[in-house]
């Protein structure tokens, strides 16, 4: 689908009396890590025509006009009785602000945290709010009751799911979604969506594994034929399988031995965006995250998390030159209950001066903590480049924790065990030394690769194994382009050393390297033996790596007399 299409609203019946309004953007909507695949998204709203008319969810500001216009063409807005909001944010509130004068009889239905947020955001408006507590129901006529399930997590403390027993539709809001725009209303060919749903899960759900697991238990007894999600196509054909996948992915998180307590507050959403990017970097490196929103967490929850965790990271906005009261409270809990040998990190966003970030950093330094990354200070909204830097900082933090964990374990005695013999044999598999390079808008990535092989003749294709914790991994998804630069024997040492060295988050990998731009926009190393311009056709999860299959669209031999550099190993346990 063309990426230059204007935004639109796709309306489609999903049951005899329920329609979905899919507000669609064919390009990326926000600078948040869950949108980083840049496949666009849909903001889904639902309209139930019963004795009482019910609107479930509304899109954000960028869709306000076209959404309200689409709604007005199909219904008298004065007839809407209820608006159920699965979660609240300032963007949605702007659409609500425009809707309120047109729908004067509207009762807003939301959770208690949602009501608190809504009254703060729209403090100048008189709102008729019905607050859901526990497993409340709502009568919409004809003996029809909507059921509600509170499913909060630190990122969305107001999250609310709605179940319609009559139509057997479960409105899941953030659960089970994906940020992909397309014409499919339902998930026909659902297996093709798994990579996108997994990425969405890794970004939004993995840092809140405990709360997401509790949410799945709450909705398990709701007999649903359709999951009416907040983003992407609705789930009908792969519903059971996606539930299974979610549980498997959650199990992977809970099984991780090392964890990080990520504590933050967010005044305008910017600090939460940074926290989400850091959390994504940590989880992709194989370390679990216990994400805690200090605005809603109990002191005992914070105390338990930091005592259990191998490291902790705190983030704060700056309000009037200070950290919010909740962060000051959390800071005291952390200092009083955390061993000084634990790794620390600090981040935050600000409008002008950023004193809160300095306060956190100074307190931890004076207390004797070591830091896992350079303190992150973001002015106003984070950009794509900043988000990538935050992800890399999270990965570096996780790798330091894993390194310390390995160092604390006694080394196994070398010998001729069956395992040792297998490792030695596996290490004798050799591979071509290559550098994979990629570019997405202002972002560039690179990694040294030796697990590379030709995979197909027709079409010409290759496979590359990419460790999950590599910084470039998040730029190598299905549909992405990259260049495979094949290094030349005898001329490869300089390039190999360049891309073997550790890079600080956000550091330019290509500084001092001769490059040209390929037709697909990615860097070509001009000192390489040859290069291939590739497009990823598929990815497969294989233990601690992703196996990427890509087709070679163009290629060129740069040095006609050279031979390929190869990498010889002695052990199959490391590169």
Phi, psi of 458 (to 5 degrees): -135, 105
Same domain, 202 and 97: yes
Q: Which two tokens stand for residue 235?
A: 């789930």
Same domain, 342 and 454: no
Residue-range definition of the domain harbouring residue 535: 429-567
Q: How far apart are CA 400 and CA 281, in angstroms?
A: 13
Whether 1 is in a domain gets the answer no
Same domain, 241 and 272: no
Angle at 399 between CA 477 and CA 538, to 5 degrees: 15
Mean pLDDT of 302-310: 96
443-472 as b/e: b if 16+ CB within 10 A: bbbbbbbbbbeebeeeeebbbbbbbbbbbb
Whether 22 is in a domain gets the answer yes
Whether 219 is in a domain gets the answer yes
Q: How far apart are CA 163 and CA 170, in angstroms?
A: 4
Residues 6+ apart with CB under 8 A from 248: none
456 - beta bridge partners?
Answer: 461
Q: How confident is the model at residue 5 (pLDDT cuts 50, 70, 90)?
A: low
Where does a domain end: 220, 248, 276? 248
Same domain, 235 and 321: no
Q: Is the pTM of this model over 0.75?
A: yes
Residues 6+ apart with CB under 8 A from 377: 347, 348, 349, 350, 354, 357
The per-residue pLDDT for range 208-231, each reduced to its tens digit, is 999 999 999 999 999 999 999 999
pLDDT higher than 90, residue 497: yes
Residue 294 burial (C-beta neighbours within 10 Å; 0-12, 13-18, 19+): buried
Same domain, 186 and 149: yes
pLDDT higher than 70, residue 242: yes
Same domain, 402 and 446: no
Q: Which two tokens stand for residue 74?
A: 């199909």
Whether 237 is in a domain gets the answer yes
Same domain, 220 and 315: no
Q: How many domains does the chain have?
A: 3
| C-beta separation of 118 from 129 below 8 A | yes
Same domain, 273 and 229: no
Q: How confident is the model at residue 420 (pLDDT cuts 50, 70, 90)?
A: confident
| C-beta separation of 47 from 75 below 8 A | yes
Same domain, 239 and 294: no
Mean pLDDT of 345-362: 95
Which ranges constitute the DSSP H helices of 259-383?
270-284, 299-308, 325-337, 355-367
Q: How far is CA 210 from CA 41, 100, 287, 464, 517, in A?
A: 27, 36, 14, 33, 45
Mean pLDDT of 120-148: 93
DSSP string, 274-310: HHHHHHHHHHHTT-EEEEEETTT--HHHHHHHHHH-S
Same domain, 201 and 293: no
Q: How far apart are CA 384 and CA 386, in angstroms?
A: 5
Q: Which two tokens stand for residue 151?
A: 């499913």
| C-beta separation of 155 from 276 below 8 A | yes
Strands (E), 119-271: 129-132, 137-139, 145-150, 160-164, 169-173, 226-229, 259-264
Give the highest mean pLDDT range of 44-48, 125-129, 422-426, 501-505: 44-48
| C-beta separation of 439 from 445 below 8 A | yes
Average pLDDT, the chain: 94
pLDDT higher than 60, residue 1: no
Q: How far apart are CA 290 and CA 547, in angstroms?
A: 28
| C-beta separation of 533 from 520 below 8 A | yes
Whether 294 is in a domain gets the answer yes
Q: How far is CA 91 from CA 17, 98, 112, 121, in A?
A: 28, 12, 19, 10
Q: The domain that contains 471 carries what CATH number? A: 2.30.110.10
| C-beta separation of 70 from 9 below 8 A | yes
Where does a domain end: 248, 276, 302? 248
Q: The domain that contains 304 carries what CATH number? A: 3.40.50.360
Whether 343 is in a domain gets the answer yes
DSSP string, 124-162: TS---EEEE-SS-EEE-STT-EEEEEE---SS-TT-EEE
Which of 334, 279, 10, 323 is closest to 154 using CA atoms? 279
Same domain, 485 and 557: yes
Angle at 48 between CA 42 and CA 51, to 5 degrees: 165
Same domain, 465 and 389: no
The per-residue pLDDT for range 333-345, each reduced to its tens digit, is 999 999 999 999 9
pLDDT of residue 4: 44
Q: How far apart are CA 427 and CA 316, in angstroms?
A: 46
Q: What percent of the chain has pLDDT over 70?
A: 98
Whether 416 is in a domain gets the answer no
The per-residue pLDDT for range 19-73, each reduced to its tens digit, is 999 999 999 888 899 999 989 999 999 999 999 999 999 999 999 999 999 999 9
Q: What percent of the chain has pLDDT over 90?
A: 88
Q: The domain that contains 34 carries what CATH number? A: 3.60.15.10
pLDDT of residue 3: 40
Q: How far apart are CA 36 and CA 27, in angstroms?
A: 11
Angle at 283 between CA 462 and CA 539, to 5 degrees: 20
Whether 573 is in a domain gets the answer no
Q: How far apart are CA 400 and CA 341, in angstroms?
A: 13
Where does a domain end: 248, 272, 298? 248
Mean pLDDT of 408-431: 79
pLDDT higher than 70, residue 146: yes
Angle at 169 between CA 164 and CA 170, to 5 degrees: 85
Q: How confident is the model at residue 457 (pLDDT cuts 50, 70, 90)?
A: very high
């Amino acid at each position: 689908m063309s990426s230059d299409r204007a935004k639109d609203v796709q309306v489609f019946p999903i049951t005899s009396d329920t329609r979905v309004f899919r507000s669609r953007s064919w390009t990326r909507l926000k600078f948040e890590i869950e949108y980083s695949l840049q496949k666009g998204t849909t903001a889904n709203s639902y309209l139930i025509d019963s004795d009482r008319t019910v609107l479930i969810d509304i899109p954000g500001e960028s869709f306000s006009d076209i959404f309200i216009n689409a709604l007005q063409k199909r219904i008298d807005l004065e007839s809407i009785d209820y608006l159920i909001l699965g979660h609240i944010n300032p963007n949605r509130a702007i659409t609500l602000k425009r809707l309120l004068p047109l729908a004067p009889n509207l009762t807003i239905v939301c959770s208690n945290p949602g009501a608190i947020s809504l009254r703060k955001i729209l403090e100048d408006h008189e709102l008729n709010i019905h607050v859901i507590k526990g497993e409340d129901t709502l009568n919409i006529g004809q003996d029809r009751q909507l059921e509600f399930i509170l499913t909060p997590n630190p990122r969305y403390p107001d999250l609310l799911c709605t179940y319609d027993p009559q139509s057997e539709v479960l409105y899941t809001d953030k659960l089970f979604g994906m940020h992909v725009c397309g014409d499919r209303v339902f998930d026909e060919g659902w297996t093709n969506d798994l990579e996108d749903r997994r990425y969405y899960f890794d970004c939004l759900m993995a840092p809140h594994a405990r709360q997401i697991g509790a949410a799945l238990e709450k909705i398990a007894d709701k007999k649903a034929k359709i999951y009416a999600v907040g983003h992407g196509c609705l789930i009908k054909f792969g519903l059971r399988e996606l539930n299974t996948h979610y549980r498997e992915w959650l199990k992977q998180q809970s099984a991780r031995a090392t964890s990080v307590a990520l504590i933050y507050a967010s005044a305008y959403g910017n600090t939460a965006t940074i926290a989400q990017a850091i959390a994504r970097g940590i989880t992709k490196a194989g370390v679990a995250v216990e994400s805690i929103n200090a605005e809603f967490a109990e002191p005992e929850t914070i105390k338990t998390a930091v005592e259990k965790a191998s490291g902790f990271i705190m983030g704060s906005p700056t309000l009037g030159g200070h950290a919010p009261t909740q962060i000051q409270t959390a800071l005291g809990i952390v200092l009083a209950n955390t061993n000084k040998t634990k790794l620390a990190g600090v981040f935050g966003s600000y409008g002008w001066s950023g004193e809160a970030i300095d306060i956190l950093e100074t307190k931890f330094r004076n207390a004797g903590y070591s830091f896992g990354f350079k303190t992150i200070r973001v002015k106003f909204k984070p950009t794509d480049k900043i988000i990538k830097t935050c992800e890399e900082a999270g990965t570096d933090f996780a790798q330091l924790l894993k390194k310390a964990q390995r160092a604390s374990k006694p080394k196994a005695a070398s010998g001729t065990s069956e395992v040792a013999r297998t490792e030695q044999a596996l290490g004798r598999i050799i591979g071509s030394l290559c550098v994979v390079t990629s570019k997405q808008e202002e972002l560039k990535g690179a990694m040294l690769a030796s697990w590379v092989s030709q995979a197909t003749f027709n079409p010409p294709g290759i496979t590359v194994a990419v460790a999950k914790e590599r910084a470039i991994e998040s730029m190598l998804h299905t549909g992405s382009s990259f260049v495979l630069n094949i290094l030349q024997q005898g001329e490869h040492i300089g390039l190999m050393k360049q891309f073997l060295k550790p890079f600080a988050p956000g550091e330019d990998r290509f500084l001092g390297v001769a490059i040209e731009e390929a037709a697909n926009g990615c860097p070509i190393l001009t000192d390489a033996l040859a290069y291939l311009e590739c497009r990823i056709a598929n990815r497969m999860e294989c233990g601690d790596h992703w196996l990427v299959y890509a087709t070679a669209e163009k290629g060129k031999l740069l040095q006609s007399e050279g031979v390929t550099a190869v990498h010889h190993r002695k052990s199959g346990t490391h590169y």
